[in-house]
Structure formats: structure tokens, C-alpha cells
Amino acid sequence: MNKVYLLIVTAFLFVLGLGCNSGNTSKKLTIAVSSNMQYSIQEIAAKYTEHTGTDCDLVVGSSGKLTAQIMEGAPFDVFLSADMKYPQMLHQKGHTKAAPKIYALGRLVLFATNKELIPKLEFLISDSIAHIALANPKTAPYGRAAMEVLEQHGLMDLVKGKLVYGENISQTNQFMTTGAAQMGFTAKSTLIGTPLSQQGHWIELDTDSYTPIQQGIVILENQTGQDQASLSFLEFIFTEEAQEILKKYGYSIYE
């Protein structure tokens, strides 16, 4: 009996030891992140894992859709939104551990996949531009920023029939790379150092033409038991190492 008991205890301790391995789901963070961060977050998460041993599962989508999932009980630990509106709303409704923080400022660009087209706002009214892509302004902050640019330059009434809406920045970019749209508004962070930048050319839009895209991070209120790791990741986002990665992808650092 003693041998059997010893074998059981040994097996239990072995399984418990596996639970402390960074590859085990018990030590994983599930991070909901807006589509504009799809490239930079991979690099940041890899560095975080390298430093802490905690793996990160990334769930990428529009800020609005991710917020709806969080409110419906999705088991996310941390939320990185493309703006402050959604994390602030979640905080007001009791879905977060604390108030959200601004971790970066996003930049809006006008992108043309056809290298013969000049990405300028005044050319959007040209007959050669049949469709203009942008993220859904109802759920994606970069889409709202694009609408503000069109309104400020008096172009909305002239081009509204050409607008096609992606569910998020990723789908918006897909519209352009597949030729479904000849030009479009997207996040600078999806172009800097990415394959997409080789498929066309772009101009950065004047930041005075749209409301600053203040990107927010917040720790979510849930029962996953990853509170300490979530706090650790939030703190890591504000380290010089992570901030340098954000700057590399075209973000401005909020100071």
C-alpha cells in the first residue's frame, strides 16, 4: 500500500509540475487586442514571454466586437483597445480591475495598393477610384477617425457612395490588397515593417484632422486567476523595451 500511495503522490506532483510549465494553459494570458496591433503585439508578447515564462494567447478583432464579447463573459485577461472609449465603458460597467491607461497614440494613413495611384485625399473623388476602404466606424476607432478626416476636408458627400467598410483594420487592408478597393484608410502600424508596405504606398494624415487615437489597456475582471500575470503584462507595456517596439511600428508614445 505504501508503494501504491507513493506512486500516486509522485504522479500527482509530476502533473502539478507540468502545471507550472510556461507552455501549460494554467500559465497563459488571454489578451484581447485591436486589429491595428496585430503585428506589434506579437513582438511585444514574445518579449514578455521571454522575460516571464508566461505565454500569451492573442485574440484579435475590432475594439467594439471585442468589447461586446467581454460584456458577454469572454474569458480575456487583458484588453488592448484602439481607443479609450471601450475600456472606459467596460470600467464604468464593472468589467475591469481598475481604470484603463493610455499606452500609445495611433496614426491614420491613406493607402493605395496600386503604385500608379497617388494616395492623396483630393484624388478620392477621381473616377479611377471606385471604392474606398475603411474600418466600420461603429466599432473601429480608426474608421471613426477616417470619417472625421473626410468630413473635415468636405469630401464626405462626394465619396460616401464609394465607401466600403471592413469589420476591422485587418479586413479593411484585405479589401485593398485584393483589389476590392483602390484606396483606403488604415493604421500606420499595419504598414511599418510589414509585408503590406511592399504592396503599395501611403501618406500619413495630419493628426489635426481627426481626434487623437488614444489606445487604452485595461485588466479585466474575470475568474481566470491570472491577476498577477495580467498586472505584470500591463506594467511591461510601459517599459522602455515595449515602448520602443510600439514606436518602431509607427505609434507615438503617450507621455
Q: What is the pLDDT at residue 192? A: 86
Class of domain 2-105+213-248 as given by CATH: alpha beta
Residue pointed to by grid coordinates 505584470: 232
Q: Cα(65)–Cα(73) distance, rounded to whole angstroms?
A: 13
Q: What is the pLDDT at residue 98? A: 94
Q: What is the pLDDT at residue 15? A: 34
Q: Is the pLDDT of residue 44 over 50?
A: yes
Q: What is the pLDDT at residue 100? A: 97
Is there a shared CATH topology between the 2-105+213-248 domain and the 108-204 domain? yes
pTM reported for the whole predicted model: 0.83
DSSP state of 108: E
CATH number of the 108-204 domain: 3.40.190.10
User: What contacts 229, CB < 8 A, 6 or more positions away?
Assistant: 27, 29, 52, 54, 77
pLDDT tens-digit series, residues 114-169: 878 889 999 999 999 999 999 999 989 999 999 999 999 999 999 999 999 999 99
Residue pointed to by grid coordinates 479585466: 220
Residue 55, strand partner residues: 28
pLDDT tens-digit series, residues 50-60: 999 999 999 99
| Domain boundaries of the chain, sorted by first residue | 2-105+213-248, 108-204
